[in-house]
Amino acid sequence: MRATVLNIEDAVVSYREDIALRGVSLKVKSEEFVGIIGPNGAGKTTLLTIVNGLGKLLSGRVWVLGDYLTLSNSHSLRKKVGYVPQVENIDPRMPMNVREVVMIGRYGLLGLLRKPGKHDWEIVDEMLELVGMTHLAQRPIGHLSGGEQQRVAIARCLAQEPELFLLDEPTASLDWKAQTEILELVKRIHDSRRLTTLFVTHDLSCLPVACDRVVLMKEGLIWSEGSPNELLTDGNLSRLYDMPISVVEKRRRETILV
């Protein structure tokens, strides 16, 4: 039986007057691929922040890779948790090339003052190869398309050699083809490197193929969880997003048409 690598018990998080998580419990097993969906403000990003130790719990408990997460061990545990953020707006004049940006992923392991060695650059080059970006390794980071920048963000995350792979809407604002390619890439990496993956997305079209399980969030709570094919029905999505079922059906037809 696979080990539980993430255990969240009754997590409550608040940002001043806003309560972002209202008592969320979730267990994730090793090598599971979990998709997290829900409307804006549902608490999806906040859920990821309590896994990588950056979010502050008002109450509740979190275990990451078997260790009870505390303020004092969050820094060391975070080294094992990779995080890919939403598409970032990068200044075209940013004076770093792709290879140097991927090396940033190693600094958590290296410490800021140690210089990267041959092994670190080998890992960087391996990750660039994995995401199909070797040919652009020397290009300034600001001179890439959104899809290419997301590939670099994934390589940077993997250069850290994480055990938990968290992705926060990595395909938002990409075109449909780039979205599909990024999801396929993430799935391939998940399978080949035997990672445990939490994937936050608004793109429902590809989830059933990629995920073992989906978690539906709404208003700071887990509204439902289970297999994608059972849960991602028009009726459930209409209730989750407070949209008439006819609109959900229309959206679905449009996605299929695309």
Site of interaction with ligand ATP (CB under 6 A): 15, 18, 20, 38, 40-46
Q: What φ, ψ does residue 81 adopt, rounded to 5°? A: -115, 110
Q: What φ, ψ does residue 161 adopt, rounded to 5°? A: 55, 60
Q: Which is nearer to ligand ATP, 44 or 106 (CB)?
A: 44
Q: Which residues pair with 27 in a beta bridge?
A: 7
The two three-digit tokens of residue 153, written as one number: 């963000």
Q: Which is nearer to ligand ATP, 103 or 199 (CB)?
A: 199
Q: Which is nearer to ligand ATP, 44 or 99 (CB)?
A: 44
Q: How far is the CB of 192 from ligand ATP (least distance, A)?
A: 28
Q: How far is the CB of 228 from ligand ATP (least distance, A)?
A: 18
**Residue type for position 229:** N
The two three-digit tokens of residue 145, written as one number: 């398309």
Q: Which is nearer to ligand ATP, 20 or 51 (CB)?
A: 20
Q: How far is the CB of 38 from ligand ATP (least distance, A)?
A: 6
The two three-digit tokens of residue 197, written as one number: 């993956």
Q: How far is the CB of 49 from ligand ATP (least distance, A)?
A: 8
Q: How far is the CB of 193 from ligand ATP (least distance, A)?
A: 25
Q: How far is the CB of 56 from ligand ATP (least distance, A)?
A: 10
What is the 8-class DSSP label of residue 77?
A: H
DSSP letter string over 125-141?
A: HHHHHHTT-GGGTTSBG
Q: Which is nearer to ligand ATP, 35 or 43 (CB)?
A: 43
**How far, in Å, CA of 45 to CA of 41, rounded?**
9
**Residue type for position 47:** L
Q: Which is nearer to ligand ATP, 42 or 131 (CB)?
A: 42
Please list, in sequence order, all residues whose beta carbon lies within 8 angstroms of the beta carbon of residue 170, skipping any fewer than 6 positions away: 84, 85, 86, 87, 150, 153, 154, 182, 186, 199, 201
